[in-house]
Amino acid sequence: MVTSTLREAPPPAGLLPQAEPGSRKPDSDPMPRSRAPGSLKHMIEVNHLTKTFGRLHAVRDLTFRVQPGKVTGFLGPNGSGKSTTLRLILGLNTPTSGTATLGGRQFRDLGAGLRHAGALLDAGDIHPGRSGHAHLWALARGNGLPRRRVDEVLAETGLTDAARRRAGTYSLGMRQRLGIAAALLGDPPVLLFDEPLNGLDPEGVRWIRTLLRRLAAEGRTVFVSSHLMSEMSHTADHLIVLGRGELIADEPLQDFAARSATGELEDAFMEVTATSTQYGTGGAR
């Protein structure tokens, strides 16, 4: 397959004793103190996660794990519940039932969030009146991170020259980079990216690909949603696939692609999600 030279053998997983789902511990064990990125603590675990909005089942009884040291692709058609799942993992929404934990703990119980997980959920999640630098500095300062980190992530994402401009003047690609800069601020062991490639130019796409591979090679847990199948087939090691809020695949990328006669990820995705859609709508065409 592709980019195999970049792949790291994933470390054995699931060896660490995990807290009971839903258990709440005081934030007395700040994990980054003993952390080398890639420590097995930093698995994302989703257990029987269900979220309903009124009568709409956004996600239903999801159970999966996202392992460190790999890029895990998160696929599914529009409205299949990917973004909701990411929000539930980050404690932005409260699950109707089930749990989502990072390193065995619910995200809302963690203190300095940026040091535990970095996330790009939507490139628009910034105030247009604030400069990129001020945006990042406020987030960093709230986590007790030094100002130096802001300059570092700005350099990493190529935004140094634009940092003092109001974010409202940024292009979509620049806002995307700013969101990624925010995710990297705390040097976190877990990274979640929702459609990070939106609006990026070819150089940006290549940069993201390299970045994701490197973050995983450093032993971090990298969970990334995308609709760009060709890009995913270049980048992901493992796939979690949703259809209509339910889990329809959790397997290595090669195995998933092999579901299609052509061996292409895109073909496999179309076939698998078409089936799930049929079941989900009770035979609607």
Partner 1 sequence: MTTAENTMAPARGTPAGRARMADLVVAEWIKFRSLRSTTVTLAVLVAVYLYLAYRGAQDGYQVWQSMPRQLRPAFDPVHGVFGGPTWMLAMIVAGAVGAMTVTGEHSTGLIRATFTAAPARRKVAAAKCAVTAATMTVPGAVIAAGSYAINEAVLAGYHISIPVSGADTARLILSTTLVTPLCALAGMALGAVIRNTPATIVAVCVLFVFTPFALKSASTRWAVDAANAMPFSFFSRLAVAGNAHLVGGVESLTAAWTALAVWLAASAVIVISVMGWRDA
Nearer to partner 1, 37 or 243 (CB): 37
Nearer to partner 1, 32 or 199 (CB): 32
How many beta carbons lie within 10 A of that of residue 107, not counting itself? 20
145 in helix, strand or coil? coil
- Judged by CB under 8 A, which stretch of 145-153, 229-237, 254-262, 277-285 contacts partner 1? 145-153
Binding mask 6-45 for partner 1 (x = CB under 8 A): ---------------------xx-xxxx------------
176 in helix, strand or coil? helix
- Judged by CB under 8 A, which stretch of 1-9, 111-119, 233-241, 242-250 contacts partner 1? 111-119
Which residue from 79, 73, 10, 85 is spatially nearest to 230, judged by alpha carbons? Answer: 73
User: 192, 143 in Cβ contact below 8 A?
Assistant: no
Among 14, 22, 79, 128, binds partner 1 (CB under 8 A): 128
Residues 156-185 that bind partner 1 (CB under 8 A): 156-158, 179, 182, 184-185
State how far the Cα of 209 lies from the Cα of 250, in Å rounded to an integer. 21
**SS3 helix, strand, coil % of the chain, rounded to 5?**
40, 20, 40
Which residue from 212, 203, 196 is spatially nearest to 125, judged by alpha carbons? Answer: 196
State how far the Cα of 208 lies from the Cα of 235, in Å rounded to an integer. 9
Minimum gap (Å) between residue 222 Cβ and partner 1? 13
State how far the Cα of 74 lies from the Cα of 238, in Å rounded to an integer. 9
Among 127, 230, 262, 275, binds partner 1 (CB under 8 A): 127
- Is residue 114 at the binding interface for partner 1, with CB under 8 A as the rule? yes
Q: Which residues contact 126 (CB under 8 A, 6 or more apart)?
A: 132, 135, 167, 175, 178, 179
Residue with tokens 């695949």: 249
- Judged by CB under 8 A, which stretch of 147-155, 228-236, 238-246, 248-256 contacts partner 1? 147-155
Minimum gap (Å) between residue 266 Cβ and partner 1? 29
Q: How many residues bind partner 1 (CB under 8 A)?
A: 64
Among 79, 111, 275, 278, binds partner 1 (CB under 8 A): 111
State how far the Cα of 77 lies from the Cα of 21, in Å rounded to an integer. 28
Which residue from 133, 140, 138 is spatially nearest to 118, judged by alpha carbons? Answer: 140
- Is residue 152 at the binding interface for partner 1, with CB under 8 A as the rule? yes
State how far the Cα of 62 lies from the Cα of 246, in Å rounded to an integer. 6
Nearer to partner 1, 125 or 255 (CB): 125
- Judged by CB under 8 A, which stretch of 120-128, 225-233, 247-255, 263-271 contacts partner 1? 120-128
Residue with tokens 């970049």: 6
Minimum gap (Å) between residue 111 Cβ and partner 1? 4
Residues that bind partner 1 (CB under 8 A): 27-28, 30-33, 87, 90-94, 107-117, 119, 121-122, 124-131, 134-135, 137-139, 141-146, 149, 152-153, 155-158, 179, 182, 184-187, 203, 207, 210-211, 214, 218
